[in-house]
Amino acid sequence: MKYIFTIIISISLLNVQAQSTGCYVPTRLQTQSNWCWAACVEMISDGYGNNISQCRAVQDAKNKIGDCLSGGTSLAACSYPSSNNYTNWVIGCRGSCSDLLTNNYGVRSSSFVKNGFISDFRNDVWGWLVGDRPFIAGGWFGGGGLNNGHAIVIQYYSKTTNKMGYDDPAFGYTSATVDWIYSKILVAAVPNNAKPGGRSGMDEEPATPVT
C-alpha cells in the first residue's frame, strides 16, 4: 500500500509540474529604438551559444541581396548605429529574423503565421517550449514607444495562470495572458531544434529578469 501511495504522489507531482514550462534565454534590451528585432535575434542566438551583437544582426541583414532593409545607408551598422535604426521583418524575406537565425547564426528556424483558434496556438506554444525552443514573436505588442509592430521572445507558459512570459526588448522580462498575446501576435520564428543545455528555466517563472 505504501508503494502504491508513493506512485500516486509521484504522478500527482508530475501532473502539477506539467502545468507550466519554460526555456529561458538571456535578456537583452534593444540599443536603438527600432532594433527590437535585432535584440530578439541576439537573445535567441545567445541562448543557442552564439554571441551575436545587435549591430552585427543589422549589418548582416543589410548585406543580403534583395534584403528586408533595402534602400538604407551604406554606413556600417556597428560604427554608426543611429544611422542604421531600421525596422525589420520576423519572417518572410531575406534578412528577416528567421533568415538570419537559419542562414547566418546556425539556429535553423521555421516560420509560423497565426491561423486558427487560440486552442491551436496554446498547443503550439506548449509544444515548442516543452521542446526547449524559445521563439521570436512578431505582432502588435507595442513597446518602446512604438505604434507599429514589435518583436518579443516568448519563453514561458503557465496553463494554471493562463499566462505567457516573454522578454520585451524595450522593457525586459514580463508576462501577459495568453488571450492578450494571441490577440497581438501575427507571426513567429521558431527554432527547429532544442536549445543546448536543456531546460535552463525548468518549470517556474523567474521572480526577476533572466540576464
Enter the pTM of the model.
Answer: 0.86
Measure the CA–CA gap between 35 and 57, rounded to whole angstroms.
10
Record the cell numbers describing residue 147, joined without a space. 505604434
Q: Determine the pLDDT at residue 204.
A: 63
3-class SS at 173? Answer: strand
Q: Determine the pLDDT at residue 136.
A: 98
DSSP state at residue 94: B
Of the chain, the percentage scoring pLDDT greater than 90 comes to 71
Over the stretch 191-210, which tens digit does the pLDDT of each residue have? 999 998 765 445 566 555 54
Mean pLDDT of 78-97: 94
Measure the CA–CA gap between 152 and 28, rounded to whole angstroms.
11
Over the stretch 37-48, which tens digit does the pLDDT of each residue have? 999 999 999 999
Measure the CA–CA gap between 54 and 31, rounded to whole angstroms.
8
Q: Determine the pLDDT at residue 197.
A: 74
Q: What angle do CA 53, 56, 58 make, to 5 degrees?
A: 115
Over the stretch 115-174, which tens digit does the pLDDT of each residue have? 989 999 999 999 999 999 999 999 998 754 444 689 999 999 999 999 999 999 999 999
Q: How many CA atoms lie within 13 A of 129 on its CB side?
A: 30
- Contact yes or no for 22/203 (Cβ under 8 A): yes
Other beta carbons within 10 Å of 24: 25
Q: What is the DSSP string of 8-25?
A: HHHHHHHHHHTTEEE---
Cβ contacts of residue 28 below 8 Å, gap of 6+? 39, 42, 43, 46, 54, 167, 169
Measure the CA–CA gap between 158 and 117, rounded to whole angstroms.
18
* Domain 20-189, CATH class in plain words: alpha beta
Over the stretch 7-36, which tens digit does the pLDDT of each residue have? 444 444 444 456 899 988 999 999 999 999
Give the domain ranges of the chain.
20-189
| Radius of gyration, CA atoms only, the chain | 18
- Contact yes or no for 30/171 (Cβ under 8 A): no
- Contact yes or no for 86/72 (Cβ under 8 A): yes
Q: Determine the pLDDT at residue 8.
A: 42
**What single letter denotes the amino acid at residue 101?**
L
Q: Determine the pLDDT at residue 196.
A: 87
